[in-house]
Amino acid sequence: MELTDLLPRIVAELERDERLHTVLLYGSRADGSANQGSDYDIAAFGAVPQTTRDTRRIDGQYLDLFLHPDSALDAPTEAHLALRGATILRQRGEAGSRFLARLEALHAAGPQPLSEDEAQARRDWAHKMAARIQRGDAEGDYRRVWLLTALLEDYFALRGMWFEGPKKALRWLERHDGASRLAFEQALKPNAGYEAIERLVRMVAGRRAMARWREKPRLAPGRGRPSPGRRRARAVAQFCQAGRRRPGCRSPA
């Protein structure tokens, strides 16, 4: 964390609100990745009825402030994971320290895994969206942005990992999966070609299972589906030809 003269000003201003007792600095200003224009991300806890958001400027710097009720300190949820690794600016007793320890335990436990049908639905959706972005119209361009945004989140969801925002996600990929990091970098370029996006879809969702997408063969004109009785007789015949025995199989003459 880069200490600046603004942080004491922020703490002093929040101290004037008697409801608040614990103040955390999180995000890029806390982990050292801030650049020019980065917000001051602040979470404050106290006697407030519900979580509310307040944006203001102090000495020309943007302050992005969330006020949380006391109950959040005792029972953090997935929604609070963005505060993991925060710097404590002020706390009542050990309230802030205990909260951050609970967040670490929640993160270590991992997210609820996707069900197999949900995971497959996300893979299929990515391939379908990749085909639709080739329209060349406004809707296709919108779907392109939608797909690229979802792919970064789904990379982690499909692997049973937390998605903690684009900055942390891309940084993790750079350290642990350089090939996927490069695929994202190429596909996210403003003028990226369709091939780069299609390559990224394969990296995240795997290759398209073509058998799932082929149209069902159509019957010849004038021919309907075989009757249930004929279908059953055909199945029994195939079963018997395979050398299996079951009621209905005739012994060879």
| Alpha carbons 104 and 97: distance in angstroms, whole number | 11
Residue 164 is part of which domain span?
Answer: 116-210
In a domain, 226, yes or no: no
In a domain, 224, yes or no: no
User: pLDDT tens for residues 198-243?
Assistant: 999 999 999 875 434 443 444 444 444 444 455 444 544 444 444 4
The rounded Cα 156 to chain-centroid distance in angstroms is 6
Cβ-based neighbour number of residue 10 at 10 Å: 23
121 and 146 assigned to the same domain: yes
12 and 101 assigned to the same domain: yes
Q: Which amino acid is at 165?
A: G
The enclosing H or E element of 46 equals: strand 40-46
Q: Which amino acid is at 11?
A: V
β-bridge mates for residue 42, sequence order: 25, 65
Contact 43, 33 (CB under 8 A): no
128 and 201 assigned to the same domain: yes
50 and 73 assigned to the same domain: yes
In a domain, 238, yes or no: no
In a domain, 165, yes or no: yes
pLDDT at 22: 97
21 and 102 assigned to the same domain: yes
Which residues of the chain fall below pLDDT 70? 1-5, 209-253
In a domain, 140, yes or no: yes
Structural domain tally of the chain?
2
Instruction: Give this prediction's pTM.
Output: 0.73
174 and 139 assigned to the same domain: yes
